[in-house]
Structure 1
């Protein structure tokens, strides 16, 4: 008889949430974690990076005090204290996950797991942190093993903790460099660039594709670059990195762009070129688990092709986002417990916590047109939004995309202050299959930034009021 109903491998935002939901449904659950409860997101990703960005944002805002009739003397920062605060935030939340495990009577097993064949779900053999090993069995196993920073050793792009950093080194550096080259302009690269630039570091971002933030709507991407350049960022786009070299004084990054070669120099290089799923060394090959470019293949219920084995989050493919992992974890736990989950597939929003912030959900305008959909597009700038003007945060705009035939909202893209908080309104709208009539008839409080969302929806149908 199986010792548990469910074993979850990995305690990140997908794993620990799945474990909690399973216990709510009466399941006996164990969770296996080889490092720290909360996984990469809580300890080295989503949360501590936001703490760093908030410190950078507050320091940067001090240079604009005069605009608000304020003044301050001897303005400065303590870099070590900024890093210590970020690590403290991560520690606090790590303890919070530990509390949730105890509250929900989930057994936490500290060690590294490997799967072996069994008659039902695979057996889990754990090399314990404390020494020795333990084998456990359950009716089902959820893999929530996450991912790690991608390395490109063939060109010398491999973190060494000194001159070349991945996300861990960039979050807890030994010193503040004077210059940084960031390779990759996705959310991770832009967020680190934003933090270090706020503290006065010379930041150059290298992107292989023709524009930064390539997954975003093109208008947002262009506006973001303009705003970042105003803050002192330097960009090299459509640039292929051919070699990364280190010296005693810094790092040299050789690139090819526009038929020309160039070597960039800085004290430090941050690698933000994507992730590699943690699917190696856990027994997937022996079990015959189907894979797709290093990621585990799953169905709509997060099931793999192996009986009783599920996979969620980063190890199961894009989008590589914490909230997607949590959503999948809950769904997998409910499916295992035979709980009838409503057949609602909410779209997954993407957020970049730079200055200005960027948030999006659904189709881009280009994506919709490539899908041969007739669209109506609305836009509204924050420069004429009352709350934005009063707050002194007028950069950016809201863009909405509707299906011209049905009126359904199919995409929303935003750049500006606090848009990462606002995007959920559009996520809810798309989930509930809202049309332009629903959004036009919704009353938005005044004065709020969210009024720009309303105006953008109105603009798509020629009804904008305030511009």
Structure 2
């Protein structure tokens, strides 16, 4: 097989890798991308997209079930619904397939050469790829490592049989009668909530003292309330010890040291993700590491000249949109452009019920950094649009410097607040002040008005509260 030479080689076609390759192609850079599986990576194939499809299906099913039970104030009733999860999964797979095709088409349009197979470094400029037709050698002036991450496996609960990761959870064809979720972070609660809405009896095990420990308690309280409404049992300060000998239950050590047995048809382990740093020849390189992650500089440059790393393999926050921003930036740097990106405005969204959005600093984080702050918080219980959607739970909160009113953080929890993430990020990225948001005319009636009202509140003259 003839060797390939190129200016840019991207290893991994996840969100960061394929965006990097497409942008490089647009800039006229001779680009090759290597991917062993389908384009789109974890996010498109077995993560963000399929999980949101499942969450939407669960919401629709629960809404109809409530109508059938007469548990709604809208005066609407209907027959008892039924759920065919295999059909739901087929619909989800159709969406994923269309997006796979879209990514492939965009790579082709940008004249990026795609090599299917597993890449392994020979040295800092040479990679060999095991393809279906034989060994392919690729030599590149610049290389981007975008190998992503995989679910963390617990030694006491190896994946297999009833023990599943998020990947298997998104391929189930039947709703498990009893589902135990190990890990009360965003992945566990997103999927656990979805299956609870579809009829599973769900128990969540979290080792720390509360669910979603990376978010402040004010944001997570509405989520905890909703879990109780869904009859999801949450055990905090508890640790999974392993499967019972019978294989149909999980042994759990509770916070007071007792061991209990939780019957389970499936045990979903969601205790985090680890970077893929093995199997692609890391040992052939001399890269500085930050623990298990590849250390990078401001331009995603590793400790070896001409080698960049982006996305989950470089550490937290392990978010698809962070990887995309890094990938676009690296492509432009390789093309000779001067580029930086503003890390302050990376949004984080938790698609629980209700949803959570955070951008920038929380009040506590700002104070810990020595900043005196003004805080404005507006509840959705006072927002007309939220009320008409039965979405009164939650609020929008703005955190600004007390001296010049520069907005340093924005948080929200509520129904559908993920769609406010762009406005929040734009405000922080552009250096908006409280007066900018307060003086912007927001359409009425929308949930976005809560953003304006929170700024008005921080300035001391909230109008609707």
TM-score where L is the length of structure 2: 0.95
Q: Which residue of 1 aligns with 2:192?
A: 193
Matches for 1:218-297 after TM superposition, within 5 Å: 218-241=217-240, 243-248=241-246, 250-297=248-295
Could you report, residue by residue, the CA deviation over 1:398-444 in whole angstroms, capped at 9, with x for unpaired residues? Answer: 11211112211111111111111112211100101111111111111
Measured after TM superposition, the shift of residue 306 of structure 1 is 0.8
2:116 aligned with 1:110: yes
Q: Which residue of 2 aligns with 1:386?
A: 384
Measured after TM superposition, the shift of residue 248 of structure 1 is 4.8
SS at match of 1:6: strand
2:33 aligned with 1:31: yes
- In 2, the alpha carbon distance for the partners of 1:16 and 1:79 equals 31
Q: Which residue of 1 aligns with 2:21?
A: 19
Matches for 1:399-438 after TM superposition, within 5 Å: 399-438=397-436
Measured after TM superposition, the shift of residue 344 of structure 1 is 4.2
Matches for 1:304-343 after TM superposition, within 5 Å: 304-341=302-339
Distance 1:246 1:16, change over 3 A: farther
Measured after TM superposition, the shift of residue 260 of structure 1 is 3.8
Q: Which residue of 2 aligns with 1:448?
A: 446
Could you report, residue by residue, the CA deviation over 1:374-411 in whole angstroms, capped at 9, with x for unpaired residues? Answer: 12222111112111111222121111211112211111
- In 2, the alpha carbon distance for the partners of 1:460 and 1:68 equals 35
- In 1, the alpha carbon distance for the partners of 2:107 and 2:329 equals 19
Measured after TM superposition, the shift of residue 101 of structure 1 is 1.6
Distance 1:74 1:230, change over 3 A: closer
- In 2, the alpha carbon distance for the partners of 1:316 and 1:226 equals 35
Measured after TM superposition, the shift of residue 448 of structure 1 is 0.3
- In 1, the alpha carbon distance for the partners of 2:153 and 2:390 equals 41
- In 2, the alpha carbon distance for the partners of 1:127 and 1:40 equals 21
Distance 1:246 1:171, change over 3 A: farther
Segments of structure 1 that go 5 or more residues without pairing to the other structure are: none
Give me the CA root mean square deviation: 1.7
2:74 aligned with 1:68: yes
Could you report, residue by residue, the CA deviation over 1:39-92 in whole angstroms, capped at 9, with x for unpaired residues? Answer: 111010010111101100111111343422222113221111111111221111
Q: Which residue of 2 aligns with 1:91?
A: 97
- In 2, the alpha carbon distance for the partners of 1:62 and 1:253 equals 35
Q: Which residue of 2 aligns with 1:360?
A: 358
- In 1, the alpha carbon distance for the partners of 2:297 and 2:210 equals 33
Q: Which segment is superposed worse, 2-11 or 57-66? A: 57-66
- In 1, the alpha carbon distance for the partners of 2:285 and 2:319 equals 27
Distance 1:2 1:88, change over 3 A: closer
- In 2, the alpha carbon distance for the partners of 1:95 and 1:251 equals 41
Distance 1:395 1:38, change over 3 A: same
Measured after TM superposition, the shift of residue 371 of structure 1 is 2.1
Contact 1:163 1:251 survives alignment (8 Å)? no
- In 1, the alpha carbon distance for the partners of 2:336 and 2:151 equals 35
Could you report, residue by residue, the CA deviation over 1:95-138 in whole angstroms, capped at 9, with x for unpaired residues? Answer: 11111121111111011001122xxx52111111x142111111
- In 2, the alpha carbon distance for the partners of 1:249 and 1:43 equals 29
- In 2, the alpha carbon distance for the partners of 1:339 and 1:34 equals 30
SS at match of 1:188: helix
2:138 aligned with 1:132: no
- In 1, the alpha carbon distance for the partners of 2:28 and 2:199 equals 53
SS at match of 2:130: strand
Q: Which residue of 2 aligns with 1:152?
A: 154
Q: Which residue of 1 aligns with 2:182?
A: 183
Contact 2:89 2:173 survives alignment (8 Å)? no
SS at match of 1:125: strand
Contact 2:6 2:32 survives alignment (8 Å)? yes
After TM superposition, the runs of 4+ consecutive aligned structure 1 residues lying more than 4 A away are 246-249, 342-346
SS at match of 1:41: helix
Q: Which segment is superposed worse, 61-70 or 296-305? A: 61-70
SS at match of 2:345: coil
Count of matched residue pairs: 459
SS at match of 1:67: coil
Segments of structure 2 that go 5 or more residues without pairing to the other structure are: none
Measured after TM superposition, the shift of residue 343 of structure 1 is 5.5
Contact 2:181 2:270 survives alignment (8 Å)? yes
Contact 1:57 1:355 survives alignment (8 Å)? no
Measured after TM superposition, the shift of residue 345 of structure 1 is 4.2
Contact 1:290 1:304 survives alignment (8 Å)? yes
- In 2, the alpha carbon distance for the partners of 1:451 and 1:257 equals 42
Could you report, residue by residue, the CA deviation over 1:26-46 in whole angstroms, capped at 9, with x for unpaired residues? Answer: 101111001111111101001
